[in-house]
Amino acid sequence: MVKQRHQLFVSMLCTADALVVLVSCYVAWLVRLYIAGDMQAFSVDRVVREPLAFLVIPAVLYAMWGFGLYRARRDRSIISELGQIVRAVLGALAAVVVLVWILGSTLIDPHVGTVIVRLWSIDLDASRLQLAVLAPTLVVLLAGERLAIRSFLRSLRKRGRNLRHACIVGVGRLGQITCRTLDRNSWTGISVAYFIGHRETTGRKECLRRPVLGGINDLERALEEREVDAVYLALPGSCASEIPALIKRLERFAVDVRIVPDVNPRHMPQNMVVSELDGMPILSVRESPLYGVGGVGKRVVDIAGALACMVLFAPVFAVIAVLVRLSGPGPVIFRQQRVSLGGETFNIYKFRTMTHVADVEPARWTVRDDPRVTRIGRWLRKTSLDELPQLLNVLRGDMSLVGPRPERPELIEQFREDWRGYMLRQHVKAGMTGWAQVNGLRGDTSLKKRIQYDLFYVRHWSIGFDIRILFLTLRRGFVHRNAH
């Protein structure tokens, strides 16, 4: 019965998604007509024959199926679901772009009124514009639809409907953590019906206000007497060897089986990644968050942002170069070794702000009223304009627009001994601005706080976090009282 209801729900969800995609296609088409000044061409006949929807609807639905958006995963968070929607939409539209380029954009033969594929009449410019409008429209409308469905299901579950009942095998610490977690996340609609003890027999009759229906030997009897939809195996590490036999025994029942590993989640980092190698699950607790799609997205933002800034600040570059040249002997651009992602060293570029002699001195931080800083250099540091040449480092891939500020190799050797976890900073590229900087931690401020803010950034990195920091940098300005 549960499976039948799920199939009905998936069918309804697919239909709703298809309607949302259809509406998005027509919205994008109307926007394209408006931008092109061709609204007089709008007609019911053209609406019916609009070709793009016939490509986009199956492409998006197939991509959403491929990303698991039609699987029964009540424990999937809304953030995870929205991320999958974005990936599915981008993947589907990428496939459509290729198809439109190969086949052309006219899919309806007006003479016979049937859906066919033509290899001519391609309107690439119009298709590009329409797809550019379609991408954000799809993401917004599909996300809105899924949020509305979640709200509806949550209201049902609060009234005791649309629930799935679960049994937890294990009454120890892990079993109780599992039960409390499911209770706390009631939006999943998963209700714990009863426990089974993790030993052969148990004297307990109740656990967290749920009945305990015997020990491991009573599992089959309990499932026959009180049917559930899912079984959570929350056994202590000492009983891990019993899990394969339990899974084998559960094959007689039409239940979902989930294993809760005996690892305290409080001891695990928030950005832990679960992967699999030849059937072996692996928990990655320390690795760069820039692997995969996220890293590609960050690089796209870096290149686009750096190019835009270089065009915008081109006149400023020229004026500063002249001022630095007039301030005294030495090169206009100062180069120095710094450390970035993975401990790789690179030459950072800055407008020279110190006397030429200071370049060869041992590594030490600049202090307020430092005599080595020139008059024009003091102003450049105060406004952070001395860092504009680092846009070249961003384009070269040495740095990112956002990340922890790069340090000299000598200072890193010192900090890695003094500050536990400091080397986590090297899991991301060094940046022109960062979470510490937008929170006022520049210049002569607490080193401990700066490192804490940098580590917070690494552990919670996302494209959205980067964009937030960039907006805060613009909003709070480049001038700061601690810069010197």
Report d(CA 473, CA 404) in Å as an integer: 14
pLDDT of residue 94: 85
Beta strands in 251-376 (DSSP E): 256-259, 273-277, 280-284, 333-339, 345-351
pTM of full prediction above 0.75: no
Task: Determine the Cα–Cα distance for residues 399 and 401; give it in Å rounded to an integer.
Answer: 7
- pLDDT-derived band at 430 (thresholds 50, 70, 90) equals very high
pLDDT in tens, 74-111: 667 777 788 889 888 988 888 887 776 665 544 444 44
Which of 142, 138, 152, 129 minimizes the C-alpha distance to 9? 152
pLDDT digit string (tens) for 162-176?
A: 788 999 999 999 999
pLDDT digits (tens, 9 = 90+) for 330-388: 888 989 999 988 888 999 999 988 876 555 555 555 555 666 778 888 888 888 888 99
Domains within the chain, CATH numbers bracketed: 2-158 (no CATH), 164-262 (3.40.50.720), 293-476 (no CATH)
**336: which strand partners?**
348
List the single range of 6-10, 72-76, 174-178, 451-455 with lowest mean pLDDT: 72-76
pLDDT cut 90: percent of the chain above it: 23
Is the distance from CB of 449 to CB of 436 less than 8 angstroms? Answer: yes
User: Read out DSSP for 379-395?
Assistant: HHHHHTGGGTTHHHHHH
Backbone angles phi, psi at 463, to 5 degrees: -60, -40
